[in-house]
Structure 1
Amino acid sequence: MKYGVFVCLFCVVLLTSCNNDDNGPDIESVPPRLLAEVAPENDEEIQEFLKTHFYNYDEFRVPPVDFDFKIRIDTIAGDNADKKSLWEDIEVGAIKVSSSELGLEDEEEDIEHKYYYLIARNGGGGNPTIADSTLLKYEGSLLDGTLFDGSTSFLWQELPFFLRGFSNGVSKISSGTTDQITQNADGTINISNSGIGLVVMPSGLAYYNAIRGNIPQYAPLLFKLEVGLFIEDTDNDNDGIPSILEDLDGDGNLFNDNTDLQSEIDARLQTAFPNFRDADDDGDGKSTRDEISDSEGNIIFPYPDANNDGTPDYLDPDVN
């Protein structure tokens, strides 16, 4: 009897094993959509939002005594039917995006993506560039108001490492100034002449087909921004060249400018370093700072070009 039970159990296990697919169930892989399809769809959705919503512009024009200078957005309807839409105050910028920048296989080049920004209050200082370290408060949401990220106190952020729509939006808003800083009892600070605004961006300037928390695929994003301060001519790698000048092709993407990429590949480095993060931009063994400085350490400008070939020494591996 025990033997018969053992045989039956063995047969059950054997049948179960034989019917088990080691590779698991077939899952259909859906390829990412084309930028050329998604960009106009996102733009239509964004324009519809901007034309049907307004912000509390009256409070910014004549601030109430207890006004907290927060942007608040609502629908134009009912008691708010006569409000001026965001569309009437919005400004537009454009960035060309290639599929390779988003890690996509489709060979799409320079697909235009529009982003929209609004200035609720001009700051008392200058404007950061997309390459600067900037002191910010921000709140990120979907167009339906769903929040996904934010900071209620100022944080320093290196703009090149953030979403392209975000960093470009920040660069449109002037900052405050250090003489207008006040400290709160909890240790946080206020900057009374900070710049306040918002930016709305298509998914191609954000996360595109990636799902991030409660951000779905192909979702346009909205950021409310307060720009406190920034470090002018931020030098991310401390090589003497302001990071914004290391965007050699001027396309607003610092990560695709890497003069010594091939030498990094040949050296089998696990990480490639674009120029704004590389202290030796041409990979010739002499630091960029040394190649642009005199014997006393003073930076020479225009940057030296010893062989007069039009390429500065710090970008020319044949000169060191």
Structure 2
Amino acid sequence: MNLKYAYLLIAGFLIISSCKKDDDSIGEVVPPRLLSEVVVEDDAEIIEFLQTHFYNEEDFETPPEGFDYKIRFDTIAGANSEKPPIFNSKNLITETFTVQSSDFGRDDDEVMTVKLYTLVVRQGIKEGKPTIGDNVVIRYEGSLLDGTLFDAASNQPTVFNLSGVVRGFGNGMKNFQTGEGPIEVGDGTVTYEGYGIGAIFIPSALGYFDDSQNRLSSAPKYSPLIFKIDAFAYEPDFDFDGDGIPSIQEDLNGNGNLNDDNTDSELEGFTTFLPNYNDTDDDNDGIPTLEEIKIDGVIVKDDEGIVQFPDTDKDGIPDHLDNDL
């Protein structure tokens, strides 16, 4: 079934969770903290969790009858003192990303390397993995390192665009292959088979950090997060703004973050900020991007599916990014 039709099928079950604002306690003031301080602290806390906890690896290797294919974490202690730590698991993927304090409205010019940890306990059976520009169909659960639940979708599939969520979530999802489906259960719901299963351990600099603008999450400020993931499906080469360019190809600086690629930010001013993947006129010249990437009225792609971009005045800047053409 085409994934777009699958969206319609599960639309009634979508819970695009943005976590309502939880006001800080009356009189409680959390002073701003340095990015450099928080990054070091978060990584230490995540590593400590990974070194002192294990997951039910045996269940996934040899599924017992009735196994629900859910990840369960527990402390390495007592009867579980010989369990291997998550930190040593062959299924743990560690990646690094560059984060700037200016990403959070700070003016102290700090730049830090931040680690993201993704545990893939079962890889999906479908070839290919989503990019940060794609829509995904998933089931998820968000918690703090101490197990406190702060965010969860319904038991039914939920659709997200991976650039519309926190950065660590989107980049962690790139490690998962997905499954086959949707399969109608018969009671108005759907299921998937052979989907990817895992967890993403996100430092706050790739999560909500201090969320100083609007408190999008009920998680405390500067909190490392854990998201358990069931990766059901995704739509490859998704074009979020419908401008003819797959969203992943609008990551101009190639840093795995579509939200900091905004060619016409100076022209948009302070009232509007539309990164290119969400902007139908990337250079703000009044001509839609869709019209400026066509050659003789046709969108031309190379052998790898990369859109070819006309450069009419031969100045090295493609027409759809060239305001002074």
* TM, length-normalised to structure 2: 0.83
1:25-36 matches, cutoff 5 A:
31-36=31-36
Q: Which residue of 1 aligns with 2:19?
A: none
Displacement of 1:219 in angstroms is 1.2
- The 1-side partners of 2:28 and 2:184 are apart by 55
Distance 1:54 1:113, change over 3 A: same
Alpha-carbon contact 2:136-2:235 (below 8 Å) kept: yes
**183-192 or 58-67: bigger deviation:** 183-192
Q: How many residues align?
A: 287
Amino acid at match of 1:196: I
Alpha-carbon contact 2:120-2:198 (below 8 Å) kept: yes
Answer yes or no: is 1:162 the counterpart of 2:168: no
SS of the equivalent of 1:36 reads helix
Q: Which residue of 1 aligns with 2:236?
A: 232
Q: Write 1 or 2 for the structure with the bigger share of helix.
A: 1
Q: Which residue of 2 aligns with 1:71?
A: 71
Q: Find the partner of 1:130 among 129, 132, 148.
A: 132
Distance 1:59 1:182, change over 3 A: same
- The 2-side partners of 1:71 and 1:308 are apart by 54
Q: Which protein has greater RCO, CA pairs closer than 8 Å, 6+ apart?
A: 2
Alpha-carbon contact 1:52-1:76 (below 8 Å) kept: yes
Answer yes or no: is 1:247 the counterpart of 2:251: yes
Q: Which residue of 1 aligns with 2:4?
A: none
Q: Deviations over 1:112-158 (max 9, x none)?
A: 11111111101012210111111010000001110011122211101
Give the gaps of 5 or more residues in structure 1: 1-26
Alpha-carbon contact 1:32-1:104 (below 8 Å) kept: no
- The 1-side partners of 2:216 and 2:49 are apart by 22
* TM, length-normalised to structure 1: 0.84
- The 1-side partners of 2:254 and 2:218 are apart by 33
Displacement of 1:30 in angstroms is 5.3
- The 2-side partners of 1:164 and 1:298 are apart by 30
Displacement of 1:215 in angstroms is 1.8
Q: Which residue of 1 aligns with 2:316?
A: 310
Q: Which residue of 1 aligns with 2:151?
A: 149
Q: Which residue of 2 aligns with 1:263?
A: 267
Q: Which residue of 1 aligns with 2:108?
A: 106
Amino acid at match of 1:172: N
Q: Which residue of 2 aligns with 1:20?
A: none
Answer yes or no: is 1:37 the counterpart of 2:45: no
Q: Which residue of 2 aligns with 1:222?
A: 226
Displacement of 1:214 in angstroms is 4.8
Alpha-carbon contact 2:132-2:258 (below 8 Å) kept: no
Displacement of 1:303 in angstroms is 1.5
Q: Which residue of 2 aligns with 1:184?
A: 185
Amino acid at match of 1:275: N
What percent of counterpart residues are identical?
45
- The 2-side partners of 1:147 and 1:230 are apart by 26
- The 2-side partners of 1:194 and 1:104 are apart by 40
- The 1-side partners of 2:320 and 2:218 are apart by 44
Displacement of 1:212 in angstroms is 6.1
- The 1-side partners of 2:192 and 2:322 are apart by 44
Q: Deviations over 1:81-101 (max 9, x none)?
A: 111111111221111111111
SS of the equivalent of 1:141 reads strand
- The 2-side partners of 1:246 and 1:220 are apart by 29
Large movers: runs of 4+ above 6 Å = none
SS of the equivalent of 2:163 reads helix
- The 1-side partners of 2:125 and 2:28 are apart by 54
**189-198 or 137-146: bigger deviation:** 189-198
- The two structures, once aligned, show a CA RMSD in angstroms of 1.9
SS of the equivalent of 1:197 reads strand
Q: Which residue of 2 aligns with 1:194?
A: 195
- The 2-side partners of 1:188 and 1:72 are apart by 25
Amino acid at match of 2:277: F
Amino acid at match of 1:307: D
